[in-house]
């Protein structure tokens, strides 16, 4: 019987891999660390002992702030061994975004990297928690701004199995840790992932162990993942796409994971060639790879993964990419085609709802279920559906039948396959992540020179959409000034790529005064095309 907890899953997977490589880590163009199944299990066990010594047990909310490094896996799975709730934090967030997550998710323990590139997470967190200066103390934290947070630990370098064993010196023994693990069940909360909706602040999606594992196994079958495969792990693990669609699904099928921390297109092409990666999940880097002068000379083996318009250009032919539809709230895929179906089905549909999931299409206004081929709001329920949003009443999240209304538009065809049409909600999907237009608008409107701002998404070939802002000024300001202002307060993917200065009469509105975002999107496309024609 397949494991039903994340710790049990990892134990089964590491036994299956044994001395075979299960995880590789490339900070840049070259792999610098490799772990067999046995070595990875040793690391996770040691991390669990260390966490237990700090008081982590069932139900403890543990924040994990790392890029795609092995430590993310060591400490997340070490926490899951103990029954803790892991809260993955984005390394793209600015200080106030981190502060919101720490408070909202009631994080009690935080494990973080000290710095990455130009980011100094030590300094960012010290700005919120002066108690961390000059260095984190062994004494518990008691900060009124973060009343649940008791300790923070920074890990500046890659840990080795030997150093982890040494760190376990006086920690609880394996028998104690095993006793804690035996208390964990499939229905226990496992993780809280943050995702952007139509609200100005991210929502916290709560998933149990079984939801994440069922989703991973279904995806592995849809993609046809086996022991010959390797996932290019550039998609962040702090997103459900990176963690479930990438890491968990790859291990579920028996493939190895190649974590890539810092992506530069030329270096990435070299890594992909040398490591023989076969799975492409997350397309936000595809354009840069295709445009790089080294692309024609590299012998890539990428063949499987999620479907995308540029898949035929990037993937080896014949490719086996499959159309998918899903979101963080459903632990990624609700529907997916299969790798062995005809290409027109794989590329032109999102496939059939996966086993254990129901999909219906309803009229967005009345909630009435619609017939085949009729476009309406996509609704889903099933085993991989989230427990709910953290701190949000269930009745505000699901309808009376337990369906989650996604805010996306689509239809089911005669064969029962799902087709995605567009977005009902005011959310921009850029580089694989959701951006709430309202959040960006509120940041722009905090600038002294801005009277109002209206944000929309504009289509982009590889990123899906880019963020564009129409800004009405009350005082002089430049586009560069507003861009810098946004960069200081927002993650990079939320910062507008385009800023258009307009007057109030130029903003299209309905008879009741509501901004017509559809017309605004069309105007943004027109202006961008005009800019491109003018060079």
- Of 26 and 200, which is predicted with more confidence? 26
Please tell me what DSSP assigns to residue 392. Answer: S
- Give the pLDDT score at 165: 53
Global pTM exceeds 0.75: yes
Query: Could you tell me where the DSSP H helices lie in 337-450?
Result: 343-348, 437-444
Both 176 and 232 in a single domain?
Answer: yes
Tell me what pLDDT residue 161 has: 42
- Whether residues 329 and 441 share a domain: the answer is no
Q: Which of 56, 55, 124, 42 is nearest to 87 (CA)?
A: 56
Which of the pair, 173 or 104, is modelled with greater confidence? 104
pLDDT tens-digit map of 306-349:
998 889 999 999 999 999 999 999 999 999 999 999 999 999 99
**pLDDT above 70 for 162:** no
pLDDT at 233 over 90: yes
Q: Is residue 365 part of a domain?
A: yes
Where is the domain boundary, 226, 252, 278?
252
For residue 175, the model assigns a pLDDT of 87
pLDDT for residue 393 is more than 80: yes
Mean pLDDT calculated for residue range 5-17: 98
Over residues 12-36, the mean pLDDT reads 97
Q: Kindly state whether residues 504 and 488 are assigned to the same domain.
A: yes
**Domain co-membership, 466 together with 489:** yes
Q: Tell me how far apart the alpha carbons of residues 201 and 195 are, in angstroms, rounded to a whole number.
A: 9
pLDDT score of 1: 65
Q: Is residue 64 part of a domain?
A: yes
Considering the domain architecture, whether residues 371 and 394 belong to the same structural domain is answered as yes
Query: Do 55 and 157 fall within a single domain?
Result: yes
CATH no. for residue 213?
3.40.50.980
307 inside domain: no
Handedness of CA 524, 447, 480, 235 (dihedral sign): negative
Q: What is the mean pLDDT of residues 64-89?
A: 97
Q: Is the pLDDT of residue 369 over 60?
A: yes
- % the chain with pLDDT above 90: 81
* Range from 221-230, 263-272, 279-288 carrying the lowest mean pLDDT: 279-288
- Considering the domain boundaries, does residue 394 fall inside one? yes
Residue 237 domain-assigned?
yes
Look up the CATH number of the domain holding residue 350: 2.30.38.10
For residue 404, what pLDDT is reported?
97
Residue 354 lies in a domain: yes
Please, what is the average pLDDT of the chain? 92
Q: Which residue has the tokens 């981190």?
A: 98
pLDDT of 171 reads: 64
Total domain count, the chain:
3
CATH, residue 500? 3.30.300.30
Give the range of the structural domain holding residue 329, as residue numbers without chain letter: 322-425
Tokens at 192, concatenated: 């809280």
Burial track 72-107 (b if 16+ CB lie within 10 A, e otherwise): bbbbbbbbbbbbbbbbbbbbbbbeebbbebbebbbb
pLDDT reading at 255 higher than 80: yes
């Amino acid at each position: 019987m397949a494991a039903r907890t994340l710790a049990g899953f990892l134990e089964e997977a590491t036994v299956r891999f044994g001395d075979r490589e299960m995880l590789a880590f490339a900070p840049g163009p070259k792999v610098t660390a490799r772990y067999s199944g046995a070595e990875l299990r040793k690391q996770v066990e040691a991390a669990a002992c260390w966490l237990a010594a700090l008081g982590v047990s069932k139900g403890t909310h543990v924040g994990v702030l790392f890029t795609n490094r092995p430590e993310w896996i060591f400490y997340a799975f070490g926490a899951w061994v103990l029954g803790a709730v892991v809260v993955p934090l984005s390394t793209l967030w600015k200080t106030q975004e981190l502060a919101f997550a720490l408070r909202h998710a009631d994080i009690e323990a935080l494990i973080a990297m000290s710095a990455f590139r130009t980011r100094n997470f030590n300094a960012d967190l010290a700005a919120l928690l002066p108690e961390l200066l000059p260095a984190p103390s062994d004494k518990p934290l008691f900060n009124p701004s973060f009343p649940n947070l008791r300790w923070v630990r920074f890990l500046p370098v890659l840990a080795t199995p030997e150093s982890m064993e040494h760190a376990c010196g006086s920690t609880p023994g394996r028998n104690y840790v095993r006793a804690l693990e035996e208390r964990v069940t499939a229905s226990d909360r496992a993780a809280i992932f943050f995702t952007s909706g139509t609200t100005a602040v991210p929502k916290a999606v709560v998933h149990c162990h079984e939801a994440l594992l069922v989703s991973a196994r279904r995806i592995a079958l849809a993609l046809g993942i086996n022991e010959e495969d390797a996932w290019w792990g550039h998609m962040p693990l702090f997103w459900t796409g990176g963690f479930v669609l990438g890491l968990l699904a790859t291990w579920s099928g028996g493939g190895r994971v190649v974590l890539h921390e810092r992506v530069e297109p030329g270096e990435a092409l070299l890594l992909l060639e040398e490591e023989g990666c076969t799975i492409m999940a997350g397309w936000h880097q595809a354009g840069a790879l295709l445009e790089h002068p080294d692309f024609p000379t590299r012998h890539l083996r990428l063949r499987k993964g999620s479907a995308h318009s540029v898949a035929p250009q990037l993937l080896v032919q014949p490719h086996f990419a499959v159309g998918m539809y899903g979101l963080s709230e459903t632990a990624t895929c609700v529907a997916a085609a299969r790798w062995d179906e005809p290409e027109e089905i794989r590329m032109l549909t999102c496939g059939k709802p996966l086993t254990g999931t129901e999909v219906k299409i309803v009229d967005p206004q009345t909630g009435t279920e619609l017939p085949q081929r009729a476009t309406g709001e996509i609704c889903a329920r099933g085993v991989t559906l989230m427990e709910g949003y953290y701190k949000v009443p269930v009745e505000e999240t699901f309808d009376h039948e337990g369906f989650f209304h996604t805010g996306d538009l689509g239809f089911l065809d005669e064969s029962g396959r799902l087709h995605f049409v567009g977005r009902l909600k005011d959310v921009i999907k850029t580089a694989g992540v959701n951006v709430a237009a309202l959040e960006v608008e509120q940041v722009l409107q905090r600038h002294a020179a801005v009277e109002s701002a209206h944000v929309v998404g504009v289509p982009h070939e590889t990123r899906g959409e880019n963020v564009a802002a129409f800004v009405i000024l009350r005082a002089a300001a430049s586009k560069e000034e507003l861009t810098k202002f946004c960069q200081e307060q927002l993650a990079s993917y939320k910062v507008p790529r385009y800023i258009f200065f307009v007057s109030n009469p130029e903003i299209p509105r309905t008879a009741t005064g509501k901004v017509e975002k559809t017309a605004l999107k069309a105007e943004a496309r027109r202006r961008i095309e005009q800019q491109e024609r003018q060079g």
